[in-house]
Homo-oligomer: A and B are copies of this chain.
Amino acid sequence: MRARDLGIVIGDLAPGPLNAITDVAGVRVGHTTLISGDGPLVVGSGPIRTGVTVILPHEGDPGREPLFAGSHTLNGNGEVTGLEWVRESGMLTTPIGVTNTHSVGVVRDALVAAGMTAGGRARPWSLPGVAETWDGYLNDVDGQHVRAEHLFEALAGATAGPVAEGNVGGGTGMKAFGFKAGIGTASRRVGGDRGGYTVGVLVQANHGRRSHLRVDGVPVGREIGQDEVPGPDVPAPAAGSIVGVVATDAPLLPQQCRRLAQRAELGVARGGGGGENDSGDFFIAFATGNRGLQPEDAEAAPPTVGLTMLNDNHIDALFWAAIEATEEAVVNALVAAETMVGRDGITFHALPHDGLMAVMGRYGRAPR
């Protein structure tokens, strides 16, 4: 179940056929979901409510064929490895992993190893991109249960096509705005006069306080109180984090990718995110519209590479595609996620679809 299945339509642009990041040709997504155990937390034993999600930016190997990329930070209380090389070179050279906060390292080193075993590096070193949010309310996060094999499994299972949302992969134990959340995705296509490009977004949503939740501008979080849907029985839950990946087939240069990544922040803001102090909010954008950026045999290759660049006069459409897709991806994460009971019996409830639509109706938003 997704937002559009409920009749919630965000923004003006049309989504791609899957309304997912995989509408950008070549992009693949894989999830490994780890759920086991119940009851009191025993660090190292569980309960386990976590996983890893991997986004492959094209059908080949980004270690051999990088893509232009850029990033943006809303609030930096989090980790994304590999960011410095993206910023310096303007290129993405590895798949992107998303997992829990305390398993970033193992996933990062596993991506290094995966590149080696596949022969997938033009250079003898690798600087993988791995992002995180913190699932410690439900998961034994200090148990560090994600292992290299879980990353390998996510890589092996990565596919184009529809993307599972909610309690899957890195999003398994996540929550947002006091409801259960996790992975969400959406896409937009810009008009043919703007090049007909697609922008797809995937988020791992773990951010926001209940009272701030907005769905298409409607103050849903204010309207669905703790009496209607209780929040978890924990003291002063922190606001949490959101990480997002923005993909496009437009031929964007690195600085254009960076600008696209910043527009994801605007989409988060429209949904009620505030980049709170405890939040690690990062967005990486990559563009598949240029390939062959790094010839394999660097020394033998000619010193220059031919490229295409989107004329900036047409970039606003892409900006709005990123804004809309990010805003909708967060709603999709909330709509797809199901109530989960985690460690110590802590429960995050799903956002009730009927309650949600009742509020939308009261605020002039009949299902579209």
Residues in B neighbouring A295, C-beta threshold 8 A: 311, 313
Give chain B residues whose Cβ lies under 8 Å from the Cβ of A266.
265-266, 269, 273-275
B309 adjacent to A304 (CB under 8 Å) = yes
Contact string, A62-86, partner B, CB cutoff 8 A, digits 1/0? Answer: 0000000000011111111111110
Give the oligomeric copy count. Answer: 4
Q: A274-B323, A303-B311 are in contact. Are A82 and B79 (CB under 8 A)?
A: yes
A262 shortest CB reach to chain B, Å: 7
Instruction: Contact check, A105 vs B108: say whether CB atoms are below 8 A apart.
Output: yes
Stretch touching chain B among A224-232, A314-322, A336-344:
A314-322
Q: Is A87 an interface residue (CB 8 A)?
A: yes
Residue of B nearest to A75 (CB): B88
Q: Which chain B residues border A365 with CB–CB below 8 Å?
A: 363
Could you tell me if B112 and A125 are in contact, using CB atoms closer than 8 angstroms? no
CA distance A274 to B298 in the complex (A): 20
Asked whether, in the complex, the Cβ of B251 is within 8 Å of the Cβ of A282, the reply is no
Indicate if the CB atoms of A78 and B89 lie closer than 8 Å: no
Contact B293 A309 (CB under 8 A): yes
- Chain B's closest residue to A108 (CB) is B105
Flag whether A195 is at the interface (Cβ < 8 A): yes
A107 interfacial by beta-carbon distance below 8 Å? yes
- Check if A306 sits within 8 Å of B303, measured CB to CB: no
A216 CB contacts on chain B under 8 angstroms: 217
Known: A73-B87, A277-B316, A303-B311. 16 other contacts (CB 8 A): A73-B84, A88-B255, A90-B255, A106-B109, A123-B278, A212-B320, A259-B275, A266-B266, A266-B274, A269-B270, A269-B323, A274-B320, A298-B313, A304-B310, A305-B310, A307-B308
Q: Which 9 A-B pairs have the closest CB atoms?
A: A217-B217, A76-B88, A105-B105, A105-B109, A298-B313, A76-B84, A105-B108, A266-B269, A269-B269
